[in-house]
Amino acid sequence: MKVKELIKKLQMFNPKAKTNVVVHNSVEEYSITYGNAEGITKGNCEEVSFYVDRLCQDEAENLMSSFSR
């Protein structure tokens, strides 16, 4: 889905409503990110991602612990 399409869908809702990401019936903190290549900005990125902070943090910690073995 393009950002434009997401915005159009969100415009159907109360703009003061809170947004959530739900994983296995639990509300999770999330981040919105965009490309990490040099020179990429929010205005020229080709991809925007939503990710669950806790899950991504757990993956990073698991990766670091596997390197330290």
Q: pLDDT-derived band of residue 30, with 50, 70 and 90 as boundaries?
A: very high
Each residue's pLDDT tens digit, 2-26: 999 999 999 999 999 999 999 999 9
Q: What pLDDT does 58 receive? A: 60
Q: Is the pTM of this model over 0.75?
A: no
Asked if 63 and 52 touch (Cβ cutoff 8 Å), the reply is: no
Q: pLDDT-derived band of residue 67, with 50, 70 and 90 as boundaries?
A: very low
Q: What pLDDT does 55 receive? A: 86
Number of domains in the chain: 1
Range of the domain at 53: 3-67
When pLDDT is averaged across residues 23-51 and rounded to a whole number, the result is: 92
35, 31, 37: which is closest to 50 by C-alpha? 31
